């Protein structure tokens, strides 16, 4: 509201060359309260008006006036605007108390498809898989908060050359009884052993290729073993997803497209896009300054690209999405650039709505986790230990793991540390959950009636944070970055705890008004944590 008012007034003063929507984008929230509640920098106007920004700011400050402004001042080329705190507090609290506070409608009638998690069967669900899973889940929740229908797809890695390697490894060293007892750990062990021994015996790699060819051609033994590995893996994955509180609208493996790729290859051939190169089939992407996209290998087997192209076409036919988000690590950037450009070149206009939501790596002692190299931390072990350290409360333990990841900008690498995750001080999940529980305990201490007529300058920073929630949600979705919400709930918790420490909230003559503020904080904290895929805890 106040930004719109300021932008309209500025547009009226500055003239039609400066549309209100552009001016609104220029408005800033000052870091320090002595600089007002909203600031307008005038430096970009200097060239247009051929005047000093300081003079422009002084002139604008003298002309800006509205009942919700208590003061405007010009300081070093900025117009600083101070808002009427009692009026704004009443306005904000009334909005917070309405159903669905923070929601947007700009996504109504549109669908977002998200490709997330996508662990490989026959491998443990490691901390390295956590990022795609929880970033993707949070983005789906943010999409829904902005009015979209979200479709979460778990595109299981159950096909490709590595399964030839696994089949070869099982035939050499596998034991059915041992694998039944601890399927993912044992399958991982023989997979790691295969890669270690193949360094000294290259013939193993050729054996792996042969087993994958048998799998692609439907060989009975290869398919039977593969189905067994897949079933064991999915059962274990479901246990982890249940603990994380994450579900999917569709779980589908790459193998689903094994009999559908011929249609894709034929389509590309009909459009004259496919060329032979050293016995392989490729689509050249020279016009995009990209290397050729490999469609069929020289030995006749298909590739990740072939399956992803086929899956993309199938998803658009099924869902008619307006956005298709691939929540996959940074190392796959080139792959998704190629997929998108091949589809654009093939004449699919919807390819422009595909977006790779990349993210940094989960590190262990500064190094990337790797199943192949035997350097990994199992997520189920982490979740179990986190719950134990949190006094047996899995909501706190799981929330700590989720928050530790999502508080980092998604493009940054994250160093694994259980100690850092579970502290109750600083920028952690337990700190936010403790703040929520503390606020709930206040509400339990006294009966109160909702009253938004709070005139309390010490609550102003809390009110401003509550007011910012809808804007932060929109920003987090548009930037595909849940860390915006994580940092927001940290700020809200910090300002609330400062207010709690210095204010007698249960003071009789202010009780209704101050507990209304506390109630508003619990509502927004709960929704903020929900958007991160976390649950609240009422007692700690």
Same domain, 77 and 126: no
Residue 161 pLDDT: 82
In a domain, 317, yes or no: yes
Phi (first) and psi of residue 74, to 5 degrees: -100, 125
Question: Are 136 and 243 contained in the same domain?
Answer: yes
Contacts of residue 521, Cβ cutoff 8 Å, sequence gap at least 6: 439, 462, 466, 492, 496
* 497-534 pLDDT per residue, tens: 999 999 999 998 899 999 999 999 999 999 999 999 99
Q: Same domain for 183 and 65?
A: no
Residue 144: give its domain's CATH number.
Answer: 3.40.50.620
Q: Is it the case that residue 371 has pLDDT exceeding 70? A: no
pLDDT band at 374 (very low <50, low <70, confident <90, very high): low
In a domain, residue 371? The reply is no
User: pLDDT band for position 319 (50/70/90)?
Assistant: very high
Residue 88 lies in a domain: no
| 71 plus 192 within the same structural domain | no
**Confidence band of 128 (pLDDT split at 50, 70, 90):** confident
Share of the chain above pLDDT 90, in %: 78
* pLDDT digits 0-9 by tens, 195-217: 899 999 989 999 999 998 898 88
Tokens 């909230």 -> residue: 505
Phi, psi of 374 (to 5 degrees): 70, 20
- The structural domain count of the chain equals 3
Q: Which of 299, 334, 362 is the last residue of a domain?
A: 362
- In this predicted model, which residue has the larger pLDDT, 129 or 441? 441
Do 191 and 294 lie in one domain? The reply is yes
| In-domain check, residue 539 | no
In a domain, residue 386? The reply is no
* Structural domain boundaries enclosing 54: 2-83
The CATH number that applies at residue 12 is 3.30.1360.70
Helices (H), 153-254: 161-173, 176-181, 183-198, 203-216, 220-244
Token reading at 428: 């952690």
- Predicted confidence band of residue 372 (pLDDT cuts 50, 70, 90): low
* Domain CATH number, residue 472: 1.10.730.10
């Amino acid at each position: 509201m106040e930004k719109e008012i300021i932008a309209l007034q500025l547009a009226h003063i500055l003239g039609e060359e400066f549309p209100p929507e552009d001016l609104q984008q220029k408005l800033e929230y000052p870091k320090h309260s002595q600089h007002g509640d909203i600031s307008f920098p005038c430096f970009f106007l200097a060239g247009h008006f051929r005047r000093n920004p300081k003079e422009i700011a002084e002139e604008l400050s003298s002309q800006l006036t509205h009942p919700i402004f208590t003061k405007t001042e010009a300081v070093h080329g900025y117009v600083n605007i101070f808002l009427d705190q009692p009026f704004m507090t009443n306005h904000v609290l009334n909005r917070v108390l309405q159903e669905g506070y923070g929601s947007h409608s700009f996504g109504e009638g549109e669908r977002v498809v998200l490709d997330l998690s996508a662990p490989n069967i026959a491998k443990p669900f490691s901390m390295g898989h956590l990022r795609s899973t929880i970033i993707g889940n949070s983005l789906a929740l943010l999409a829904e908060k902005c009015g979209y229908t979200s479709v979460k797809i778990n595109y299981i890695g159950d096909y490709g050359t590595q399964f030839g390697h696994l089949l070869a490894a099982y035939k050499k060293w596998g034991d059915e009884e041992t694998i039944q007892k601890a399927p993912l750990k044992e399958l991982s062990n023989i997979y790691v052993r295969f890669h270690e021994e193949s360094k000294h015996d290259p013939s193993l790699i050729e054996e792996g290729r042969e087993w994958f060819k048998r799998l692609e051609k439907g060989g009975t033994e290869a398919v039977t073993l593969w189905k067994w590995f897949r079933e064991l893996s999915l059962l274990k994955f479901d246990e982890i997803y249940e603990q994380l509180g994450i579900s999917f609208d569709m779980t589908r493996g790459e193998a689903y497209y094994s009999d559908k790729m011929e249609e894709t290859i034929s389509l590309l051939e009909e459009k004259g896009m496919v060329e032979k190169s050293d016995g392989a089939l490729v689509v050249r992407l020279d016009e995009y300054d990209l290397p050729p996209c490999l469609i069929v290998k020289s030995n006749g087997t298909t590739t990740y690209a072939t399956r992803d192209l086929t899956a993309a076409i199938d998803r658009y036919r099924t869902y008619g999405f307006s956005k298709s988000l691939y929540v996959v690590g940074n190392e796959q950037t080139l792959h998704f650039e190629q997929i998108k450009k091949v589809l654009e070149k093939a004449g699919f206009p919807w390819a422009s709505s595909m977006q790779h939501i990349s993210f940094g790596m989960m590190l262990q002692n500064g190094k990337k986790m790797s199943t192949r190299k035997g350097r990994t931390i199992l997520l189920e072990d982490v979740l179990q230990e986190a719950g134990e350290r949190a006094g047996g409360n899995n909501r706190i333990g799981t929330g700590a793991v989720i928050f530790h990841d999502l508080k980092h900008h998604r493009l940054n690498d994250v160093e694994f540390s259980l100690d850092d995750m579970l502290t109750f001080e600083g920028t952690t999940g337990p700190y936010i959950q403790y703040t929520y529980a503390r606020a709930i305990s206040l509400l339990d201490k006294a009966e109160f009636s909702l009253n938004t007529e709070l005139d309390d300058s010490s609550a102003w920073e809390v009110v401003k944070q509550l007011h910012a929630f809808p804007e932060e949600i929109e920003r987090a979705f548009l930037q595909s970055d849940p860390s915006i919400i994580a940092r927001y709930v940290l700020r809200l918790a910090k300002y609330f705890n400062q207010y709690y420490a210095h204010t007698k909230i249960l003071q009789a003559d202010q009780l209704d008004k101050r507990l209304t503020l506390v109630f508003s904080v619990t509502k927004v904290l709960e929704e903020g944590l929900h958007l991160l895929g976390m649950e609240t805890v009422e007692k700690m």
